[in-house]
Amino acid sequence: MVKRNEHCLNSECPIACSLDLIGDHWTLLIVRSLMFEHRHEYKDLLAIPERISSNILSDRLKKLEEEGLIRSVGHPESKRRKLYYLTDKGKDLIFVLLDIARWGVRHLGRADSIPPEKQAVLGSPPEQVAKFIFEDLKAWEKKFVR
């Protein structure tokens, strides 16, 4: 992962500065998994199809939490486990992820891994998709975040 502010030291470009934080693919895949796939436990994030290593996952979760994109809460079944969830700052990446997904489907033909109910929604206006996803996240948070 690029060190925080590495690009911002040489550039005032908001894209370059954003990439310091979210520019590696593991970070966005973790955010994707939290946002769209109901993967809120470490073990579930470790099991993503892209096969992230445990040390990289631990590092990214720590950095995402330090930067305020995610938070963690204790697991209701075990004091040793945590549940991770997106903050508002993390949720603000929804349109970035939707645009990347749409670009991938359009130019790479990669839609197989998207569940059918979400494929149908992906064709809707972005604001409608965001509303659907945010309602889903809110329901999860209501259950687990106090």
pLDDT in tens, the chain (146 residues): 445 567 677 888 999 889 989 999 899 999 999 999 999 999 999 999 999 999 999 999 999 999 999 999 999 999 899 999 999 999 999 999 999 988 888 888 767 777 777 777 777 899 998 998 999 999 999 999 97
Place of tokens 């993390």: 90
**pTM attached to this predicted model:** 0.88
Maximum distance among all Cα pairs of the chain, rounded to whole angstroms: 47
Q: How far is 108 from 92, CA to CA, in rounded Å?
A: 25
Place of tokens 């409608």: 128
Place of tokens 């930067």: 67
Specify the pLDDT at position 124. 86
With respect to residue 69, please indicate whether it lies within any of the assigned structural domains: yes
Count of structural domains within the chain: 1
Per the rule left: phi > 0, alpha: psi between -120 and 50, beta: everything else, 82 is beta
Specify the pLDDT at position 2. 46
With respect to residue 8, please indicate whether it lies within any of the assigned structural domains: no
Residue 35's domain is classified under what CATH number? 1.10.10.10
With respect to residue 20, please indicate whether it lies within any of the assigned structural domains: no
